[in-house]
Amino acid sequence: MNHFSYRGGILHAEDVPLDELARAAGTPLYVYSTATLSRHYQVFAGAVPAGSLVAYAAKANDNLAVLKTLAKLGAGADVVSGGELAKALAAGIPASKIVFSGVGKAAEEMRAALEAGIYQFNVESEPELAALDEVARSLNKQAPITLRINPDVDAKTHAKINTGMAETKFGIPFDRARQAYADAARMKNIQIVGVDVHIGSQITDLAPFEAAFQRVGGLIQLLRSDGHAIRRLDLGGGLGVPYENSNTPPPDPAEYGAMVTRVTKDFGCTLSFEPGRLIAANAGILLSRVLYVKHGDAKQFLIIDAGMNDLIRPAMYEAWHEIVPVVEPRPGSARVAYDVVGPVCETADLFASGRNLPELKSGDLVAILSAGAYGAVMASAYNARPPAAEVLVAGGDWSVVRSRLTHEQLIAQDSLPHWLAD
C-alpha cells in the first residue's frame, strides 16, 4: 500500500496535489510520503519475531529526512560506508542499532564505527577480519562481528543483485565458514557475536530465503560445537516489492515473518533484518514533465525532463516502473504506445518501451512510481544535469529535503589548476 492516489482528478501525495508541488518545486522532483514510509516500517517490524533489530538499509534511500522519519519509529540502520554511518548518526539513529556491512570497509571507516560503538560489523572476508582486528587493537577495543556466510543459494533474482552464490564478491564461502570463525576466535580484539546471511535483493519467492536460513541454522549448530558463542543471526534484507501489477505478487511481510519464525524458533538467536527497498520503494515517486512528443516512423516517443541521471534503474537493471499521468484520464480516453525517454545523450536513457499510456502532450505531468529506493541515491550530474530535487510530504504539509543544484553550484564543485587560471 502507498499514499499516492487520485483525488478530484489529480494525483496526490497524501493530501498534497502533485501539480502544486511541480509548480512550487519544479521538475524533475522526487516526492516521498511519510505515511507510506511509516506504514511499511511498522508492518515489517510487526511481522518479524519480537525483540528483533530492524536496521533499515540506508543505501536504498539515505536522505536525512527519510532516515530521521524512520529513526523516530525506532528503526536501526544498516550502513555500507563511513558516509552512511555519519548520516545515520546525524539522523538520530543510536549507534547501538547500527550494523556496518559492505565488502570494502576502509580502516578509517572501521575506526569511526568502533569509536561510535555500533551494534556489529558484518565482516565479508578474511582480510577484512584481520584489518578490523588491527584497527580495534589500536583503539584498545573489541569489535563485535558476524561473518557473512554465503549459503550458495540462488535467490532467483536479477544477476546484478544476486549475492548468495558461492562465487561472489560478497561474503565468505560456506565451506570456509568454520575455518574463518576459528581464525576470528584467535584474534584478541575480535568478539564473535553471530552469523550473517544476505542472498540478494528484490526476491519474490520465500523458498530461497527458507533454504538459506535452514542451511545457516545447521552452521550455527556446528559453530557452537566448535566452541563459538553464536547468539545473533543477521538475516539481511531482500524481500521484493511489487513494481508492476502481477498475478504473482511478492510475498507480504506477514508471510515472510511467519516463515522466519517457524525456521528460526529453535536457533536460540536474537535476529536482525536489513530491509531497504521494502520500506522505501513504494514510498516515493519521480515527478516529471513532458517536454515533447516525437512521432517516428514506427514509434512515438514521450520525451520527459527526467533522465537516467535521475533514475538509472531502467537503464542499469532493465527495471519496470509504472508510469501514470498526474491528471487522471477519463474512462475510455485514447491510449498510445509510447517509448518514454529522457533528455540524456544515451540510447539507454529509456524508462519504458511501447508503454500503453493515455495520450499526452507537451507540458503534461507524469509520475514514475516505486522510485523511492535506489533512485535519488544512485543519481548523478551526467550531462551536467543537476539531479532531481527531493521533497518529503506529511499529510497536507511538505518540505524540500534536498535542493536542486544550480548550474553555478555544479561549476563550483570543480577547480582549475594554477596553470589554467586566468
For the annotated catalytic residues, the residue numbers are 345
**CA pair distance 123, 101, nearest whole angstrom:** 7
Would you say how long the chain is, in residues?
A: 422
> Among the residues of 140-202, which ranges form H helices?
177-185
Closest CA to 199 of 238, 166, 234: 238
**CA pair distance 201, 332, nearest whole angstrom:** 38
CB neighbours of residue 408 within 10 Å: 7
Q: Which residues contact 42 (CB under 8 A, 6 or more apart)?
A: 73
Whether the Cβ atoms of residue 321 and residue 369 lie closer than 8 Å to each other: yes
**CA pair distance 365, 304, nearest whole angstrom:** 9
Q: What is the dihedral of CA 213, 219, 224, 225, to 10 degrees?
A: 150
Query: Would you give the DSSP letter of residue 80?
Result: S
Whether the Cβ atoms of residue 215 and residue 174 lie closer than 8 Å to each other: yes
**CA pair distance 182, 167, nearest whole angstrom:** 22
**CA pair distance 238, 22, nearest whole angstrom:** 33
Query: Would you give the DSSP letter of residue 23?
Result: H
**C-alpha grid cell, residue 188:** 584478541
Task: Give 243-272 as a DSSP string.
Answer: SS--SSPPPPHHHHHHHHHHHHTTS--EEE
Phi, then psi, of 303 in degrees rounded to 5: -95, 115
Q: Which residues contact 39 (CB under 8 A, 6 or more apart)?
A: 1, 3
CB neighbours of residue 48 within 10 Å: 23
Whether the Cβ atoms of residue 342 and residue 290 lie closer than 8 Å to each other: no
Whether the Cβ atoms of residue 173 and residue 219 lie closer than 8 Å to each other: no
Query: Would you give the DSSP letter of residue 326?
Result: S
- For the chain, the straight-line distance linking the first and the last C-alpha, in angstroms and rounded, comes to 57
